[in-house]
Amino acid sequence: MVEATALPGAYSPTQFVQLGLPERPSSQPLPMNMSEARLRGWDELDIVFVTGDAYVDHPSFAMAILGRVLEANGFRIGIVAQPNWHDCDAWKTFGQPRLFFAISAGNMDSMINHYTANRKVRNDDAYSPGGRVGLRPDRATLAYCQRARQAYRGVPIIAGGVEASLRRLAHYDYWSDTVKRSILLDAKADLVAYGMGESTIVEIARRLQGGESVTDLRDMRGVAYAMGAKESPPNDDGVVTLPSFEEVKTDKHAFAEATRRIHLETNPYNARTLVQWHDRQAVVCTPPPLPESQQSMDFFYDLPYTRKPHPRYEDPIPAYGVVKDSVTIMRGCFGGCTYCSITTHQGRIIQSRSKTSVVREVARLGASKDFKGIVSDIGGPTANMYEMRCKKPEIEAICRRLSCVHPTMCTLLDTDHTSLIQVMRESREQKGIRKVLVASGVRMDLAQKSPEYIRELTAHHVGGHLKVAPEHTDKTTLGVMKRPGGDNFQKFAKRFNKESAAAGKEQYLVPYFISAHPGSDLAAMIDLAIFLKEHGYRPDQVQDFIPAPFDIAACMYHTGLDPMTKKPVFIAKHLRDRKLQRALMQFFKPENYFMVRKALMQAGRRDLIGGGCDCLIPAQPPAAAIQSRRERAAKEALHGDHVHSRSRTPAVGYRPGRKSAQRRDRLITRDRSDDS
């Protein structure tokens, strides 16, 4: 297996020349049309990126960081952002790419981007200008790959990003409630490059430029590919064969077993190649990419991003507003939470930038004319895993634990926060910096290993509120999630409040909890509601569990089994049960009164209904609850959402031209003609 080529850590024009690269990348955004490409002296492009997100030249956006890294390695890149997928004209914007199309649905899975946990269409899209919906299709990777093939047959198609990565093998699809085959077979992509992808995509570009075919790239790490019906997949000691697509589609125990084997092969130092048959075709997934070195991480983030949306956009892009003044210091997560895709996408090995690189970026922010002096967030997927690794590399190389912190924290895990504290201190001392915030992602069990970190955090890096994620209070549910016990949050909260008071500051924790997660039954949610009432928490937002492809929790939701133990797990699968759990987390809202009452009656907890101080809701519905129910009933009657009426207005979806929508339009027209 060929290892990914380490990328150079180059930061100056002189060093670019020394490294044999053509020149330092332009400080202008990557081109979105040929006129912009010609301004760089490019008459043809090597690689065309097609993405479901608006193009923002900021390292928090995948197309920006991958495009800039390729540009820095001498390749000519163009961006096609949120193209009209109804024809292939947009794919011809730059003419035929010399090397390949790079396809991504965007920073999010397109189905999660489009639909809520209740499968309702979302009202906005944070990655689109003006937050507008409908600028990308459902299952965008499929449509984009197919249009690329239609535009220029014979050009290699490399799919990547979260959507393709998490669907590279047979997977459960929540929105259709079915097991779907590998995305490779439906998208007809030549390769899926899974994971973060900087080194992988540079190696692909270098090898294709060197004359190799896309088939030759199958020996790379971090790729998945579909073999022809007459081809034989690898078959040796370094290969794990999964239950076939036909087996996992019809047998939930087989699906659970496939999930178990997949997740045991996620450590890049000992992972083996995975093979899964789909009828007569084998889908092959090579071991994960090796972790990026600190030198490479510095190289990626030190490139000359404009840190702004492309000038073509007039409307603000909501997701950019959240991250524009943030600084990423690390990636990866060794937490292994069953509902989270970070470990499977970014890797379980923490990859950190150097202090010098981080402070340099903060200093550049401080010197920016439009910067207001506040770094909105400094961290990563987890704010305080910076430079944390296993103390014994020889053990790390053979370890198959899915979490370094659950069910107990590994004694070999280095939990020293010293380097992180130094980064925080030097960052806030830079000219032009008034405040450096840690806005989210603090791992509370790790933080409690360092009283100095909590002291530093509360004294200098909290903007009044700090978001944390205890997720639940029920022991069984937390065990299913691979999260620390419920008392962990309370211990952290006590220490946080103490240190805030010592710093002379009034600061609050904003805890996030999940409803309807596997393992969480009605009794568990009622206990969570009681906890919220006792501690005065009134969450404005509720996280409803969404089974994302590839996650262990998604397997639990589909099969009702813990794939690692094969033991049954409670699942709140019906929409009515999920609604009850959600309502319990916001028991204090009048519009939830009747659902909360129903939940309490169903669970036999009448003691929580009444006027006592321990009760969740009063015995009699408040006037606001009755009014809310009337308004909801009127709205449902108006839109035809109850069983006695039929809608006269066609729903506007993301693909209004699809056949089902056309049939619906004809039926509505016919009905109106009949009425007249």
Q: Which of 253, 285, 317 is the last residue of a domain?
A: 285
Q: Specify if 200 maps to a domain.
A: yes
Q: Percent of the chain, pLDDT > 90?
A: 85
Q: Which of 577-581, 585-589, 650-654 has the lowest mean pLDDT?
A: 650-654
Residue 160 within any structural domain of the chain: yes
Q: With contact defined as beta carbons under 8 Å apart, do 193 and 223 qualify?
A: yes
Q: Exposed, middle or buried by CB within 10 Å (0-12, 13-18, 19+), for 54?
A: buried
Long-range own/partner contacts, residues 534-538 (CB < 8 A, 24 or more apart): 537/511, 538/586, 538/588
Mean pLDDT over residues 32-53, rounded? 97
Average pLDDT over residues 16-26: 49
Percent of the chain with pLDDT over 70: 91
State pLDDT tens for residues 208-228: 999 999 999 999 999 999 999
pLDDT beyond 50 at 1: no
Beta bridge partners of 102: 49, 158
Same domain, 100 and 224: yes
pLDDT surpassing 70 at residue 327 = yes
Q: How far is CA 557 from the centre of its chain?
A: 19
268 and 382, same domain (yes or no): no
Q: What pLDDT score does 248 carry?
A: 98
In the structure encoding, which two tokens stand for residue 163, read together?
């959507």
**Residue where the block lists tokens 């997927």:** 381
Domain span including residue 280: 13-285
Query: Is the per-residue pLDDT at 198 higher than 80?
Result: yes
Q: Point out the domain boundary residue: 434, 461, 488.
A: 461
What distance lies between CA 104 and its chain's CA centroid? 13
pLDDT band, very low/low/confident/very high, at 322 (cuts 50, 70, 90): very high
Asked whether residue 343 falls in the same domain as residue 280, the answer is no
Residue 580 falls within a domain, yes or no? no
Specify the pLDDT at position 235: 87
Are 329 and 265 members of one domain?
A: no
The pLDDT assigned to 4 comes to: 36
Output DSSP code: residue 373: S
Same domain, 102 and 213: yes
pLDDT at 407: 95
Confidence of residue 17 (pLDDT cuts 50, 70, 90): very low
89, 214: one domain: yes
Residue 661: pLDDT over 60: no
pLDDT > 50? residue 671? no
What mean pLDDT is predicted for residues 609-637? 90
In a domain, 497, yes or no: no
Q: What is the mean pLDDT of residues 101-128?
A: 95
CB 59 within 8 Å of CB 190:
no
pLDDT band at 344 (very low <50, low <70, confident <90, very high): confident
> How many CB atoms are located within 10 Å of the residue 121 CB?
13
pLDDT reported for residue 343: 87
Q: Are strands 281-285 and 273-278 parallel, antiparallel or unpaired?
A: antiparallel
pLDDT at 666: 52
**What is the CATH classification number for the domain harbouring 390?**
3.30.750.210
**What is the H or E stretch that residue 467 is in?**
strand 465-471
Q: Are 263 and 335 members of one domain?
A: no
Closest residue by Cα to residue 460 from 378, 372, 355:
378
Mean pLDDT confidence for 256-273? 97
Shared domain check, 187 and 52: yes
Average pLDDT over residues 100-106: 98
Both 182 and 99 in one domain: the answer is yes
**pLDDT tens digits, residue range 370-393?**
999 999 999 999 999 999 999 999
Residue 629 has pLDDT above 80, yes or no: yes
Quick one: 132 and 181 in the same domain? yes
- At residue 636, the pLDDT reads 73
pLDDT attached to residue 404: 96
Q: Is the pLDDT of residue 641 over 70?
A: no
In a domain, 151, yes or no: yes
Looking at the structure, do residues 86 and 192 belong to the same domain, yes or no? Answer: yes
Domain stop point among 461, 484, 500: 461
Q: Do the domain assignments include residue 480? A: no
Residue 634 belongs to a domain: no
Considering its fold, how many domains does the chain have in total?
Answer: 2
Residue 146: inside a domain: yes
Based on the domain organization, do 366 and 274 belong to the same domain? no
